[in-house]
A and B are shown apart, each in its own frame.
Chain A
Amino acid sequence: DQQVKQNSPSLSVQEGRISILNCDYTNSMFDYFLWYKKYPAEGPTFLISISSIKDKNEDGRFTVFLNKSAKHLSLHIVPSQPGDSAVYLCAASARSGTYKYIFGTGTRLKVLA
């Protein structure tokens, strides 16, 4: 029973265009959401997060949107760059608990030059 789902295993986008990565969750107790970026043979790197009290958080080219009623979040990358090519992992947590994360299976983004 996957509580965090990333239904698109891969995505290809032209350089300069917008990349949109999606994530769905089922547990209504989740109140903190994160995106990580992962290159091969490296550990995941924290990218951006959002608390359930917000519906949008922006950091440079990266914006995360949260739709609590739909239990859906998305990561927008604008403009996309070849260096953004990586696997993106969505994670969710109930922060009032033990700070354990549940991760999705990831989406591999390829930005084409």
Chain B
Amino acid sequence: DAGITQSPRHKVTETGTPVTLRCHQTENHRYMYWYRQDPGHGLRLIHYSYGVKDTDKGEVSDGYSVSRSKTEDFLLTLESATSSQTSVYFCAISDPQAPQHFGDGTRLSIL
């Protein structure tokens, strides 16, 4: 989707290092979400934001933090990466009462 950009698209890092993933939107949507996708689990919500500086936890938030200082950017940070956080991470955006639209994902490998 041209309105959502995730960066980086791929990253390999070592256990214990900090990692930040970025989601950038050009659609001016109010809601932004971070999911992870793992085999056998489908997409699981990590954190979401319902406005600038307004964020809340999802179902798998342990080990992750987020920040949203402006409408267009939503950052996901792994303070000290662990191997269990190896996954594909997807960002999504939406307006109230509208379907979420997804970015193309970030493949993160933690060795």
Contact = CB atoms under 8 A, between A and B. Distances in A.
Q: Are A and B physically bound partners?
A: yes
Contacts, number: 52
A99 B105 contact: no
A99 B98 CA distance: 9
A98 B59 CA distance: 13
Contacts of A41: 104-105
Nearest to A46: B99
- Measured as residues with beta carbon below 8 angstroms from the partner, the interface class of chain B is 20 to 34
Interface string A75-105: 0000000000000010100010011110111
Interface residues of A, number: 21
Given A41-B104, A89-B42, A105-B41, A100 B48 contact: yes
Contacts of A98: 48, 50, 56
Interface string B28-58: 0001010100001111110010100000101
